[in-house]
Amino acid sequence: MSKADEFDSIRQKLGNVSRRDFLKFCSVMAVGMGLPLSAGAKIAEAIANPKRPPVIWLSFQECTGCVESLLRSTHPTLEHLILDLISLDYSETLSAAAGHQAEAAKAQSVKDNKGRFILVVDGAIPTKDNGLYCRIAGKTALEILNETAPHAGAIVAMGSCASWGGIAAASPNPTGAKGVPEILTDKTVVTIPGCPPNPYNLLSTVLHFVTFNKLPELDQKGRPKFAFSRLIHENCERRPHFDAGRFAQQFGDDMHRKGACLYKLGCKGPETYANCPTILFGETGAGTWPVGVGHPCFGCTEKGVGFSTPLHTLATITNFTPPTFFAEAFPNKQGLPSGLKSFAAGSAGLVVGAAGAAALTGLGKKGQSDHQGRNSGSGEHDHGKEE
């Protein structure tokens, strides 16, 4: 079969989309991974390759949220993903087989595809008491992971629990839950944290591996840089309000309803790396991510933030913290923003004091006293024009 015929076959399975739309999809995936548009052709060729990469998906201490997130992806749809792009040889949630048949299928796939299959793990691994708190088919999660991982071509930890323990490892962590990298210390593990993680970050990682036969560039925590190199705070649609000092003080107040920054409600965007504002969730339109619908970021992609720091405590900001005297976007009825009253009074006192001092020292020139009065304020506000 020629490449053109292979492309046509894939297009038909996608719903008979045009050749242009198929290549456009591949180009968009390339850009999403930080690759040049020209890489789209290579991705298209990899997708059209009849030898689909085998995937074994292991689930341990988890809530199935990671799989549920994958089920709701539409570009591509789940059926296209597991029937056309990859060969999902084992998944407790999605496998047609069950019991002994499912375990036999997994063992056969590992044997036939040593060094080639992609191992995806969601859920933490309990290690206390030899891992007896999670058992599947008579074996502990710890045993299953240690038996399967050495034969994988690539290992992906899907979700916060698999990446660094997540909610299962939250204090006091009674089962000794750990993430995959903490157990497979001699392996390169791609971590895709999130609760739940965005399915497109997994898809992009798999396509990168299939296309270039190597993993995407990772940060120090094993996360793909194309998805986790920027703070949520940098691309948040509420960021301009943060810079201007416009904050919601409580849920449902006027500023919250008008879309102001959620920093004072405990948003962890300033210390959390992820692409949530740009990728979004659920295919339901603009603004479909936690901050977009009015809830503070929980910091679920950051170890030591999500499931560790109380939700409504202020985030740690590495560059600067906004002054508490910034004006609100919409002043109160008296015309003076409530947050400015004490600051304005103090500034006025400084202005008068500076003018008086200038007069007493013989520097009563109007321009000089005005100049000193303005400079004795915060430097952030204009206290009036020169008369």
Segment 244-257, tens digit of pLDDT:
889 999 999 999 99
CA distance 313 to 71: 33
Segment 18-71, tens digit of pLDDT: 766 766 766 666 666 556 666 666 666 655 555 678 899 999 999 988 988 888
Q: Which pTM does this prediction carry?
A: 0.70
What mean pLDDT do residues 315-340 have? 54
pLDDT of residue 36: 63
pLDDT of residue 211: 81
CA distance 275 to 236: 10
In the predicted model, what is the mean pLDDT of the chain? Answer: 77
pLDDT of residue 342: 35
* Structure token digits, residue 368: 């000089």
pLDDT of residue 31: 61
Residue with tokens 């970050």: 201
* Structure token digits, residue 379: 């430097």
- Residue 155 dihedral angles phi and psi, to the nearest 5°: -125, 130
pLDDT of residue 320: 59
What mean pLDDT do residues 189-217 have? 89
Q: In the chain, pLDDT over 90 holds for what percent of residues? A: 44
pLDDT of residue 349: 36
What mean pLDDT do residues 111-129 have? 94
